[in-house]
Structure 1
Amino acid sequence: PCHLEGLHLAQKIYKKLSDQIVFKIGLFCGYSYPYECLDTLLKRMKLKREDVDAFLGWREGDCYPGFFSVRSKSGDTASLSFVEEHNINVAHYALFRCFLCIDGLSQLADISLGDTTDAVRNNSFIISRTDKGDELIESAKADGYIDYYTLDAGTALTKGIIPFMLREKRHKVLFVIQYLAKRNVPVPDWDIKEAKISKIGRKNGVLRIRMVMFVRKPMISKLLRSHPKLMEVTGRFIYHFDIDPRNLAFRIIGKFLQSHPKLMDAARSIYQYDFNPKHTASKIFQRVKEIRPSKSGKTPNNRIPVGLVGVGGWGSQYVGILQKSGIFNLRVCFDTNKELLQSICSSVGCLKANSLEELLATDDLQAVVIVTPNHFHYEQCIKAIKQGKHVFVEKPIANTVEEAKKIYRATKEKNVIVSVGHNVRRRSEFRTMKKLIETGEIGEVIMVEANNSQYVGEGRETSWRLDKDTYSSGPLSQLGIHHIDTLRYLFGEITEVKSYLKNEYFKSGVPDTILSVFSFKSGILGYLGTNYISEPSFTMRVYGTKGNLIVEGTTLYLQKNGKMKAIKTKSINTLEEQIREFGECIINNGEPEVGVKEAIENMAVAEVIMESAKKNGKNIGLEE
């Protein structure tokens, strides 16, 4: 924001500058810090700058708001939670001008973006203010760089980053400026209306800025910087300082609710104030009825008690999805990252399990969602199924066809539902592509080409994705498997495979590139490529006798009569759709679109691709 403010002033002075600027992109910003702040954070982690091999990120990690993370030259990773980092940064190092800045949202930009301030989603929040901004966003979506959904104005202005920034930056800053101006401290003259702030609010702001100024006195600062833990404690006290009795009461109640998940669940649903005692009592009574399990184990509104295994990475997406599904009641979570687990469970208000066994033993638990590294899927699925739990597991269902078949036999023995997260086929581009093919829009299909690649890069042998012992197929099981399922969904069974692989970049021995050509039972010929080296690629090209259908990123194109046009498709959240289907299958005893049988067939194709590649491109047929 401060750079854009400077640019705005420069444009007023140098008129020609305006014509040379195409558009402006800004970041959300709370504070900026001098470089010496870095040394203090490293000292807090018992490191020096010369000990560090790489800085991994200020907001690294799978859980909002992330960690300040570095990798030492010995190969170890050290992290500070955002809370610890922020407590040190703001009180002790934030530039003084940041306390006097009212713009946290880059309001002079065509587009500004940053966090959602949502504890369970990893999405970014984008604000577009001009036609240029709208055009840029649409172009980025069309080229496959981003996907998005829109928020209505009411939601955007009452929840999340916008009201947070208005409260923290604009409203609080104004009376701090007034306080300093009375003491002859040079301050900016912001041309905005004074915010309506209570007397207690004014005192809070003044006392906080006085404490910041105190701890920055040379003698105090020197003492604190020699004791990083004390610096973090004093920073936390200043950052969270509040003498408003209502806010203090909310904090005390919040601490209590965190240890009582059912009460937390009820409280979250009554977050809007209603001072009519009858209305409030009615809401509370209704929510208590909803969260009390019936004799069947289901709640009256069909909310199914579910446990989530794996809350980091991709698993963090499912936290919010399960919460807002309307079908599931997220009762308990488990993850091997204890700090991350505690953060998620506290923010959601659910139980925390210290092991898979403890999660499965949770009272009334009916279903389990498994979102963990691939090599854990088989064991975790089997344990959950043997306990009689319905299971949703991310793709691939297991590491081998044999493991997948054991899961299939277990589901039949225990009569439970297992749904597998092959979500790409659900994307509206492929749903529409299938309809156009079936209606003859491109005539008879002759061949298909598909590629799904992502850059993983060299030097990341510590990643489970590059562990040859547990994950020997490289990008095939993580990326290529998506297209295997989608190709089978569109064109039927694959009958013969010829494949090649190479490994020129990874020391671990995991293949970095895999290429396969194959034939379908229908006679269509196909190609699949996947790698961990190139720039991201997500494409599928279907060639017909009357035209072609092409998916590039998130856009579907029809190529016909020498012309290419984009086909409008409705953006849908495929993860939400498959979770909703999973819940409906449990309630109605139905069959998921991708169950164990379909997952086994996908795994069989992947296994044959790897077998052919290891035999230098030998043609191999798939058995029934």
Structure 2
Amino acid sequence: MMRAAIAGLGRWGRAIVAASQGCNELRFVAAVEPDLNGARAFCAEHNIGLTDQLQDILSDKTIDAVFIVTPHSLHREQVLACAAAGKHVFCEKPLALKVEDARAMFAACRAANVKLAVGHNRRFWPSMIALRDTVLSGELGTLLHVEGHNSNENSKAVLAGWRLSATESPGGGLTGSGLHILDSMVAMLGRVSSVQALLATQRQEAPQLDTATAILKFASGMSGTLSTIRMTPYYWRVHVFGTDASAEVLGETSMILRKSGQAPIHREFPTTNTLRAEIDAFAAQCTARASYPVNEDEVTNTLAAFEGILASMRNGTAVEIK
């Protein structure tokens, strides 16, 4: 069994630890968290050692892997340190805010012969797996357009901290929520070649009111739109349109297939613990039993488009993605 440590015991870090309970492949044995007092009870409950220094777990030869759930600007330094220490790395999305940093992280892990996985839990939704399989099967015909929307009410609950920083989470809700949609689009449809984007802000102080919208052109010739709102009831939608059919996902477990002259076909899938699925997939990658379903090209292509969207928001013009 792999022995793992987690850096960052905020809401999401704790959710990852909780999801690992009962896992036969990996067990959390240590945590790094600056707020020692706030983390002691949780670590005691889960029988996890606690420190406020990353170096303490990097120097522990019994620890095989590190999960990084920290502010985005820390990811590059921490991933490189883990690679240098010979630790496999699972890093929450976004891996980086700049594609050049992501490339440096993958290169460092390759050089150190350790694995690097990026947490995109929506990839593990049964509905999104079915959508990608449907797109890749050719059932939709020639692909023409994709629409994606991911919004939530997190801005009502998150009123302080680094997640509200325009430096750590630029683009309004793009970094926290919209990036899930962008990742799913790139995974299914390939590289984005150009973008035109708008960030409309009505209130900058918490709770923040803003909307992020992007028009995308893919290298394949397809078009797309992406939207995310930080304060509205939760909503998820990814809809791919082709010449023969369209397929739409409106949540974690359902997909609607539409074909000319036919009634819509509703497909339902069983629920799954997506965080546990990520952990299992990471463990399988580290032990060379299977490749991780979010690959390096997809991560770097998504971040290149992400950077392009942010640039377009700043300058108000279309941006070509190199």
Which of 270, 278, 282 matches 1:570?
270
8 A Cα contact 1:305 1:328, kept in partner: yes
Matched, 1:358 2:56: yes
Residue 528 (structure 1) shift: 0.5
Aligned to 2:304: 604
Q: Distance in 2 between matches of 1:459 and 1:329?
A: 30
Q: Distance in 2 between matches of 1:324 and 1:574?
A: 15
- What amino acid maps onto 2:71 in structure 1? P
Relative to the length of structure 1, the TM-score reads 0.48
- What amino acid maps onto 1:556 in structure 2? M
Matched, 1:583 2:283: yes
Q: Distance in 2 between matches of 1:461 and 1:347?
A: 27
Aligned to 2:293: 593
1:571/1:333 CA distance change after superposition, 3 Å: same
Aligned to 2:24: 326
Which of 130, 143, 165 matches 1:432?
130
Stretches (4+) displaced over 6 A: 508-511
Which of 543, 547, 559 matches 2:258?
559
- What amino acid maps onto 2:305 in structure 1? V
Residue 447 (structure 1) shift: 1.0
- What amino acid maps onto 2:54 in structure 1? L
Matched, 1:342 2:40: yes
Residue 591 (structure 1) shift: 4.0
Which of 353, 371, 382 matches 2:69?
371
8 A Cα contact 2:192 2:301, kept in partner: no
8 A Cα contact 1:467 1:508, kept in partner: no
8 A Cα contact 1:370 1:394, kept in partner: yes
Q: Distance in 2 between matches of 1:603 and 1:434?
A: 20
Q: Distance in 1 between matches of 2:287 and 2:294?
A: 17
5 Å-filtered alignment, 1:359-438, equals 359-438=57-136
Aligned to 1:622: 321
5 Å-filtered alignment, 1:443-592, equals 443-457=141-155, 462-507=160-205, 512-554=210-252, 555-560=254-259, 561=261, 563-588=263-288, 591-592=291-292
Q: Distance in 2 between matches of 1:446 and 1:413?
A: 40
1:565/1:597 CA distance change after superposition, 3 Å: closer
8 A Cα contact 1:378 1:399, kept in partner: no
Residue 460 (structure 1) shift: 5.8
1:584/1:532 CA distance change after superposition, 3 Å: same
What are the superposed Cα offsets for residues 53-83 of structure 1, whole Å, 9 maximum, x if unpaired?
A: xxxxxxxxxxxxxxxxxxxxxxxxxxxxxxx
Matched residue SS, 2:11: coil
Q: Distance in 2 between matches of 1:494 and 1:424?
A: 20
Q: Distance in 1 between matches of 2:281 and 2:70?
A: 20
Aligned to 1:308: 6
8 A Cα contact 1:367 1:390, kept in partner: yes
8 A Cα contact 2:193 2:219, kept in partner: yes
- What amino acid maps onto 1:606 in structure 2? F
Q: Distance in 1 between matches of 2:31 and 2:41?
A: 11
- What amino acid maps onto 1:592 in structure 2? Y
8 A Cα contact 1:465 1:474, kept in partner: no
1:439/1:584 CA distance change after superposition, 3 Å: closer
- What amino acid maps onto 1:390 in structure 2? H
Residue 474 (structure 1) shift: 2.5
1:354/1:507 CA distance change after superposition, 3 Å: closer
Residue 419 (structure 1) shift: 0.4
Question: Which has the larger helix fraction?
Answer: 1
Moved more, 511-520 or 582-591: 582-591
- What amino acid maps onto 1:344 in structure 2? F
Residue 539 (structure 1) shift: 0.6
Residue 425 (structure 1) shift: 2.1
1:613/1:354 CA distance change after superposition, 3 Å: closer
Q: Distance in 2 between matches of 1:536 and 1:330?
A: 31
Residue 509 (structure 1) shift: 12
- What amino acid maps onto 2:263 in structure 1? K
8 A Cα contact 1:557 1:567, kept in partner: yes
Residue 510 (structure 1) shift: 8.0
What are the superposed Cα offsets for residues 572-603 of structure 1, whole Å, 9 maximum, x if unpaired?
A: 22222221121122222864222444322211
8 A Cα contact 1:401 1:600, kept in partner: yes
Residue 518 (structure 1) shift: 1.1
Q: Distance in 1 between matches of 2:68 and 2:128?
A: 25
Larger RCO (CA under 8 A, 6+ residues apart): 2
5 Å-filtered alignment, 1:66-145, equals none
Matched residue SS, 1:323: coil
8 A Cα contact 2:5 2:30, kept in partner: yes
Q: Distance in 2 between matches of 1:459 and 1:424?
A: 21
8 A Cα contact 1:468 1:508, kept in partner: no
8 A Cα contact 1:461 1:467, kept in partner: no
Residue 393 (structure 1) shift: 0.6
Residue 458 (structure 1) shift: 6.8
- What amino acid maps onto 1:608 in structure 2? G
Aligned to 1:211: none
1:487/1:403 CA distance change after superposition, 3 Å: same
Superposition CA RMSD, Å = 2.3
Residue 379 (structure 1) shift: 2.4
Q: Distance in 1 between matches of 2:96 and 2:208?
A: 18
Residue 367 (structure 1) shift: 0.6
5 Å-filtered alignment, 1:104-253, equals none
Q: Distance in 1 between matches of 2:315 and 2:170?
A: 15
Relative to the length of structure 2, the TM-score reads 0.91
1:595/1:389 CA distance change after superposition, 3 Å: farther
- What amino acid maps onto 2:320 in structure 1? G
